[in-house]
């Protein structure tokens, strides 16, 4: 009772300044996004030494503590603190890590993240690992904050089809800029605009066409950009963006629900949300299982630098196969002399390609628990027409 009265007294005292303060922080957050984007772009795309990394780590600290302050201010002004904490639990967890990192950096010989990177995992370059970790935390906070802007869709007078097209144009543009950076390729000044644009478009639209050998032309960073483009393009950037917005944020407005209905061709808003979640979870599950089988299908003829390199190769090719992209980070792909006779690997890749080709209506019928239970309980119940057409067509084309 005393706590509630105190909260009421605080809210009444702060009410007059609420709009002005929150608007000020919204403007500062926009500036923070621009600064964070510039730092991440530069640190990812250009060569750095440890002194450079320490310099940029300082900037990242300032940005992280600004977002921690922003979280505290939002909590201070909310009228429903418990509900606020519930809806921002993941963000709160990241803020706690940021605060713990700051306190440990000030009062201990080594910071929390530095201790984990150096002492527990024995990284050879703890400063680089710490910068990457801090950047990941920053990106997650920015993304969680950005997901709240999904409500802006309700004020946009744009058809679902155009939103879908625009999402692809944006991802192709971002991919092109990233692939042109010096650290993304083994060329001194970075890839040319046309090479970057072609590769970004090919990856986003999962065509598999290349103008340079993915295994030798692009660095590890460049290959990561390519496979992320493949994943976002294969399942659709719109699907992932809407999924995270609805999963982490409070929910969807009427416009967003209508957009999902159009996008997934369903009349039910609840069905659209359920399909959305099942698409993302099924994609991740199938790709994870595929990576496991690919890892154990590689024969002894092909040599890997380390176990982690083999795991990376497995994940890359699983995502590439499931999304039907055709990208490979092994020169000559499956026709490489070391892989030509690895028939178990070929079968695994074919299975992933097939599962990716039949589409999500069919995958839902195969893997969704409620669908399986219905067919077991009601023997007369068949798969829906869309799933059957998709499967019969895929099998027929494969046999032909």
Tokens of 291: 């990576």
Q: Which pTM does this prediction carry?
A: 0.78
Closest CA to 199 of 221, 226, 173: 226
Average pLDDT, integer, range 76-101:
84
Per-domain boundaries in the chain: 1-155, 276-399
- Each residue's pLDDT tens digit, 381-398: 666 666 777 777 777 776
How high is the pLDDT of residue 145? 73
Q: What is the mean pLDDT of the chain?
A: 79
Q: Which residue has the higher pLDDT, 114 or 228?
A: 228
Q: Are 313 and 277 spatial neighbours (Cβ–Cβ below 8 Å)? A: no
* 3-state class (DSSP) for residue 82: helix
- Poorest-pLDDT segment among 166-180, 190-204, 348-362: 348-362
Q: Which residue do the tokens 């922080």 mark? A: 25
Residue 124: CB atoms within 10 A of its CB come to 8
pLDDT tier for residue 250 given thresholds of 50, 70 and 90: very low
- Each residue's pLDDT tens digit, 158-181: 666 676 777 788 889 999 999 999
146-154: long-range pairs with CB below 8 Å, 24+: 147/244, 147/245, 147/248, 147/249, 148/245, 148/249, 148/250, 150/241, 150/242, 150/245, 150/246, 150/249, 150/252, 150/256, 151/253, 151/256, 153/253, 153/255, 153/256, 153/259, 154/253, 154/254, 154/255, 154/256
d(C-alpha 207, C-alpha 262), whole Å: 25
pLDDT tier for residue 249 given thresholds of 50, 70 and 90: very low
Highest mean pLDDT among 72-86, 270-284, 314-328: 314-328
Average pLDDT, integer, range 139-159:
66
Q: Are 73 and 84 spatial neighbours (Cβ–Cβ below 8 Å)? A: no
Q: Which residue has the higher pLDDT, 153 or 360?
A: 360
Q: Which residue do the tokens 């042109």 mark? A: 180
Residue 343 has pLDDT above 80, yes or no: yes
Q: Are 137 and 94 spatial neighbours (Cβ–Cβ below 8 Å)? A: yes
User: In whole angstroms, how far apart are CA 261 and each of 2, 166, 254, 264, 390?
Assistant: 47, 18, 11, 5, 20
- Each residue's pLDDT tens digit, 102-146: 888 787 777 777 777 666 555 667 788 788 888 888 888 887 776
Closest CA to 350 of 329, 386, 321, 382: 321
């Amino acid at each position: 009772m005393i706590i509630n009265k105190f909260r009421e007294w605080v809210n009444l005292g702060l009410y007059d300044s609420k709009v002005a303060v929150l608007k000020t922080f919204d403007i500062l957050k926009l500036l923070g996004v621009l600064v964070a984007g510039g730092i991440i772009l530069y640190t990812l795309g250009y060569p750095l030494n440890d002194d450079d990394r320490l310099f940029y780590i300082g900037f990242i600290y300032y940005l992280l503590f600004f977002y921690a302050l922003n979280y505290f201010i939002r909590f201070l002004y909310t009228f429903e603190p418990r509900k606020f904490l519930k809806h921002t639990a993941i963000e709160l967890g990241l803020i706690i890590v940021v605060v713990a990192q700051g306190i440990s950096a000030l009062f201990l010989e080594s910071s929390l993240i530095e201790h984990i990177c150096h002492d527990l995992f024995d990284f050879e370059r703890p400063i680089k690992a710490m910068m990457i970790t801090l950047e990941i935390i920053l990106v997650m906070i920015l993304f969680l904050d950005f997901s709240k802007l999904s409500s802006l869709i309700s004020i946009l007078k744009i058809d679902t089809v155009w939103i879908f097209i625009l999402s692809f144009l944006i991802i192709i543009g971002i991919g092109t800029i990233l692939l042109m950076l010096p650290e993304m390729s083994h060329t001194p000044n970075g890839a040319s605009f046309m090479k970057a644009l072609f590769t970004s478009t090919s990856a986003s639209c999962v065509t598999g066409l290349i103008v340079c050998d993915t295994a030798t032309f692009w660095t590890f960073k460049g290959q990561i950009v390519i496979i992320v483009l493949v994943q976002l393009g294969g399942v659709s950037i719109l699907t992932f963006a809407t999924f995270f917005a609805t999963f982490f944020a409070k929910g969807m407005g009427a416009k967003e629900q209508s957009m999902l209905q159009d996008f997934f061709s369903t009349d039910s808003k609840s069905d659209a949300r359920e399909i959305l979640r099942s698409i993302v979870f099924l994609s991740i599950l199938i790709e994870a299982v595929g990576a496991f089988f690919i890892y154990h299908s590689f024969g002894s003829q092909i040599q890997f630098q380390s176990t982690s390199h083999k795991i990376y190769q497995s994940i890359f090719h699983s995502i590439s196969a499931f999304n039907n992209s055709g990208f490979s980070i092994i020169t000559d792909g499956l026709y490489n002399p070391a892989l030509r006779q690895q028939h178990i690997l070929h079968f695994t890749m074919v299975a992933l390609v097939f599962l990716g080709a039949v589409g999500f209506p069919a995958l839902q019928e195969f893997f969704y628990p409620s669908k399986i239970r219905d067919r077991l309980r009601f023997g007369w119940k068949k798969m829906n027409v869309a799933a059957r057409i998709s499967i019969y067509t895929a099998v027929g084309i494969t046999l032909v």
